[in-house]
Amino acid sequence: MSSYLSLLMFPALMAFIFSGFPIAFSMILVATGFGIIQFGDVAAYQLLTKIEDTASNSILAAVPLFIFMGAMLERSGIAERLFEAVHMWTRRLPGGLGVGAIVMGTLFAASSGVVGATEAVIGMLAIPVMLKHHYNKSLISGTICASGSLGTAIPPSITVVVLGPVAGVSVGALFSGLLIPGFLMAIMFLIYIVGIAYLKPEMAPRVDESEPEVSWQEKMRVTMVALLPTMLLIFTVLGTILMGLATPTEAAACGALGSVLLALAYRNLTRDVLWHAAIKTMNISAMILLIVMGGSMFAGVFFASGGMATVQSLLMDTGLSPWMILGLILLIAFIAGFVLDLISVVLIIIPVAMPIVRMLGFDEIWFCVAFLVVLQTSYLTPPLAPAIFYLRAITPPEITLKHMYWGVVPFIVAQLVVLALVLAFPSIALWLPDVMSGPSWR
């Protein structure tokens, strides 16, 4: 009976969340309440153990470091220089401003990993320029949302740093497994923008030919000054992890230091910049780590109550095939992504899903990559898409919610195509981890 009682933890959690209670405190309250009901005074020891486990998890130390790196890139003006360099090379292409926004999103995602920051920075830089050149408002909305969402699918991603320890898999292997699907998604976004600009030029007018062309020497100078240092920062973070030269936490520390040195080199390192980056880092880190702690407590009580065994037996008794069970898990994750932030979805679903995935014989890295693609798709999908809420905060009034809803649809289709490819061809997610360190690494 107690094992079936544990299943009520999920409806109780949803009731707290929908009533407007913060997600972290909702998970802590549900875990505490059900823990006391199930185990009495012993629950206090169990919950304190989960708090200690979270506090002593060295991998989670990468979270504030990655956030600080993204905050420094945003506050110090490095992102503006990067956008200028990318814009110089792409502006003459069909849909060049949209192409530039996606390229900028890819580079920023690969150097920060903070989804909201990526979208906000690119939106503030690109939207005024795209409106000035009379781009279709739906195309503007979809492009900015899609470019910002790449922070989930292109490492280093904060969501991956949290997912790795919860799923019991290597964060480095997840980074390498996610790299090809993430860049494949960015390429599909680019193909769509160039294609729609070519077929319907009125949606993405070319830059006025009367505008003076930037000389080759000037392009190279701006590229060397703005793009090259950022690429070096990306290699410092991502390259060292993929080559096994540094752990995610060590690479994040190097990236944080690198962002400070870049700001210093560009003469933008001021007390105000450092202060605002530190405050933003503290606020976001506290929120994320509190959610991680609440999720750990929630999962601990659920497992100890026999909830996992109950879920397994219920799924096995349905007579569904392994692929149908996998599809059901991904569907639940997609729906959960409508109402919860990405890290909360990871902490609620992954502890339950991973034992089932292992029991069914699916590869862990492959499943986690597919899971992250699903999360990114839900991040864009109306009506409760977090990407659209971020966009509403930075867009002028002439871009309406209707523009945003229609604008993201083609990019959602592109993400679903990538998901289908990952599910149909597991080597897309598994080839690079095997090449980098061999199957034993996984």
Sequential DSSP letters for 341-386: -HHHHHHHHHHHHHHHHHHHT--HHHHHHHHHHHHHHHHH-SSS-H
Please tell me the predicted confidence (pLDDT) of residue 114.
64
Q: Is the pLDDT of residue 440 over 50?
A: no
**Does 57 or 114 have the greater pLDDT score?**
57
CA atoms within 13 A on the CB side of 334: 17
Rg (CA), the chain: 22
Tokens matching residue 260: 């400070």
pLDDT of 81-131, one tens digit each? 777 778 777 777 888 888 888 988 888 777 766 666 667 777 877 888 888
Query: How many residues comprise the chain?
Result: 442
Please tell me the predicted confidence (pLDDT) of residue 330.
92
- Sign of the torsion angle spanned by Cα atoms 357, 360, 363, 369: negative
Q: What does the alpha-carbon distance between residue 105 and residue 82 come to, in Å, rounded to a whole number? A: 10
Please tell me the predicted confidence (pLDDT) of residue 148.
80
Measured from the Cβ of residue 299, the count of other Cβ atoms closer than 10 Å reads 22
Tokens matching residue 368: 């986690």
Please tell me the predicted confidence (pLDDT) of residue 439.
47
Measured from the Cβ of residue 355, the count of other Cβ atoms closer than 10 Å reads 15
Q: Is the pLDDT of residue 438 over 60?
A: no
Closest alpha carbon to 70 in 341, 291, 277: 277
> SS3 string of 182-229?
HHHHHHHHHHHHHHHHHHCHHHCCCCCCCCCCCCHHHHHHHHHHHHHH
- Average pLDDT on 24-48 reads 86
Amino acid making up residue 233: L
- Average pLDDT on 19-38 reads 86
The number of folded domains in the chain is 1
- Widest Cα–Cα separation across the chain: 77
Q: Using an 8 Å Cβ cutoff, are 381 and 161 in contact?
A: no
Question: Which pLDDT band, with edges at 50, 70 and 90, does 185 fall under?
Answer: very high
pLDDT of 241-286, one tens digit each? 877 788 888 888 888 898 898 888 888 888 888 898 889 888 888 8
pTM: 0.81
Tokens matching residue 192: 């769509």
- 58: exposed, middle or buried (Cβ count in 10 Å: 0-12, 13-18, 19+): exposed
- Average pLDDT on 45-49 reads 84
Tokens matching residue 183: 């860049």
Q: What does the alpha-carbon distance between residue 327 and residue 357 come to, in Å, rounded to a whole number? A: 11
Q: What does the alpha-carbon distance between residue 128 and residue 442 come to, in Å, rounded to a whole number? A: 45
Please tell me the predicted confidence (pLDDT) of residue 315.
73
Tokens matching residue 263: 């700001």
Q: What does the alpha-carbon distance between residue 14 and residue 340 come to, in Å, rounded to a whole number? A: 10
Please tell me the predicted confidence (pLDDT) of residue 352.
84
Domain housing 131: 2-441
- Average pLDDT on 301-325 reads 79
pLDDT of 371-430, one tens digit each? 999 988 888 887 667 778 778 777 888 888 888 889 999 999 999 999 999 999 999 999
Please tell me the predicted confidence (pLDDT) of residue 323.
92
DSSP-derived letter for residue 56 is T
Residue whose tokens read 């069970």? 325
Closest alpha carbon to 402 in 127, 116, 137, 134: 137
Q: Is the pLDDT of residue 184 over 90?
A: yes
Highest mean pLDDT among 106-115, 183-192, 297-306: 183-192
